[in-house]
Structure 1
Amino acid sequence: MVKPGAIRFTLLFSLLLPALAGATELYRYVNAKGVTVLDRLGVPPEYISKGYEVLNDQGRVVKVIPPAPSAEEMRRQLADKARASSDAQLLRLYSTVDDVDRAKARKLTELDGVISAAQGNLQLLRTQQANLQSQAADQERAGRQVPEHLVAQIDNLKAEQAGLQKDILRYQEGRKQAEASFAADQARLLELIGTRR
């Protein structure tokens, strides 16, 4: 059984064909009312994203332009592309899981060295502060006013210590993030190597 819409379309096409005989291409798209339209001038901009077909002068489809992807499809495609790029970079960096372990050990050793140096500097500042406070206490016990420069030095040392303590916390957080990052790289590399076998 032939649908009435198909008969109308065929009839319309057969009526338009002689008028369009000089045209080299026809564009077929569906308008806002759901009606299939044939146009030799092109597809109006508001319908391009919905997809259309290009027909030759005999009415045969020569090209199909698919609908533009939805926002969700676009996000998925971008995420897939980013993942593929990340995977390719991971495979360039490491060929085995042992490579990841070695890189992790180097990075953690480097971070441990930085943390240790900062902790050593912090201890040095504390010792200097203790010495200056001892001098200030001696001045007070002797009944003299503590010199301004001594008070300023103690305040500066306290500020430096606070800055170093923040740095140490930041380095320790960086170490945790590095461990997590290497663990993720290792897990993903295992997946990639497993799929290539």
Structure 2
Amino acid sequence: MAEFSLIKWLEDLINPLAARISRDMAAMRNELAPWKEKLVPIMPGEWDLLSSQYVPQDGRRRKGAPLKGLFSTIYQESVIAWSYREYQDQNHTALLVARTCKQEYLFKRVGREVEVVIGPYRVGALSADGRLISSRKKELLAQLGKPNGTYIPVLVYGHEVGAIALPSDTPVPMPRAFSFVQDMAENEMELFLALAIYELVRQKINK
């Protein structure tokens, strides 16, 4: 039996939405955990093979339940699993949990700002204009550049490292998600993927 916490009980009474979000985040993470062993690793230099077409994992989704899906390679190998949930509050709060075979990514949107967590670390906040600012030093870590009509360039530590494909008006089987992906250090790739995953899911939600 879990130990009773008076402080947590009082916090839940004061802010029931925060308590619900905390429970939902834990549930979404648990639902995706089994995918860790099923997802296919992608080697450096192979991220251009990822497709922006997602495979729904909802079945008959209940009202209010998370939207779940997979992003796969053009060869239909599952690479990224994700779960997304929105709340009907004045701040338009939303949660996104995503994972690859190596890493977990958590996003919490409140208003126009998105808190970004990679693994156990709170990396920073993603602003409405696509800038990821570090939590501690308030430095610019990465950003989404200005769309050029076909792609959105992604910059990490001030250098363009790849681009995210924008949805096309012309249907294409297994459209590619990325282009021009450069060789990156592991921490740079994690920042690139954080912005890319959030943008790809955002495109699907707003479609």
Q: Give TM-score, length-normalised by structure 2.
A: 0.21
Higher strand share: 2
Rg comparison, structure with higher value? 1
Higher helix share: 1
Q: Give TM-score, length-normalised by structure 1.
A: 0.22
